[in-house]
Structure 1
Amino acid sequence: MTRIVAGEKGGLHLTVPKSGTRPTSERVREAMFSHLLCSGFPQGATVLDLFAGSGALGLEALSRGG
């Protein structure tokens, strides 16, 4: 089961298909957004999840205000 890590919807569980998708792991999403925050990435920037199989990355960005 995949979940949103942080932000407004933190802890929300996502239902993902059993086959055909490999959601970005929680660890990778957390590291990616932490790096962006520390490197001065603009708050409210647009995130484009081009390979949105489960949508976990895009939903994580929306939860964090992106």
Structure 2
Amino acid sequence: MIKKSQHHTLGQVRIIGGQWRGRKLPVLTSPGLRPTPDRVRETLFNWLDPMIQNARCLDCFAGSGALGLEALSRYATSATLLELENNVAQQLINNLALLKSEDGCVINTNT
């Protein structure tokens, strides 16, 4: 039996609104990691728009971080991103640093 490779390569996720609109951030590809599509995030954040500013957000199973980073881009007060996989959590920390965000927190844990 051939074992599937656990090799991580880089993909991208795009911030679709707010202060970081249009920014593309590197994302580790990993088995089971599926970033929320742009269209779905756009619809979700259109619904949440009246409530997102100054909100505290929790992104469980953060993966690409698309939802938590989108919330921060749209002026949420804070976002806590929970991610089990070490390499993916480290990439989320790196992306927060790229954005110079001090309002995001990554916790490497199982939800």
Q: What range describes the TM-score normalised by the shorter chain of this pair?
A: 0.7 to 0.9
Deviation of 1:42 (Å): 5.7
Q: What is the aligned counterpart of 1:31 among 43, 46, 51?
A: 43
* CA gap 1:42/1:3 in 2 versus in 1, 3 angstroms: closer
Rg larger in structure: 2
Note if 1:48 corresponds to 2:55: no
Stretches of structure 1 lacking an aligned partner (at least 5 in a row): none
Moved over 3 A (4+): none
Deviation of 1:33 (Å): 0.8
* CA gap 1:42/1:33 in 2 versus in 1, 3 angstroms: closer
Instruction: Read off the aligned partner of 1:29 and give its amino acid letter.
Output: R
Secondary structure of the residue aligned to 1:16 is: strand
Contact kept, 8 Å, 2:15 with 2:69, in 1: the verdict is yes
Contact kept, 8 Å, 2:13 with 2:26, in 1: the verdict is yes
Q: TM-score, normalised by structure 1?
A: 0.84
Q: Using CA pairs below 8 Å that are at least 6 residues apart, which structure has the higher relative contact order?
A: 1
Q: TM-score, normalised by structure 2?
A: 0.53
Stretches of structure 2 lacking an aligned partner (at least 5 in a row): 1-11, 77-111
Percent of matched pairs sharing the same residue:
53
Match of 1:61 in 2: 71
Equivalenced residues, count: 64
Instruction: Read off the aligned partner of 2:37 and give its amino acid letter.
Output: S
Note if 1:3 corresponds to 2:23: no
> Within 5 A, what are the aligned runs for 1:10-25?
10-20=21-31, 21-25=33-37
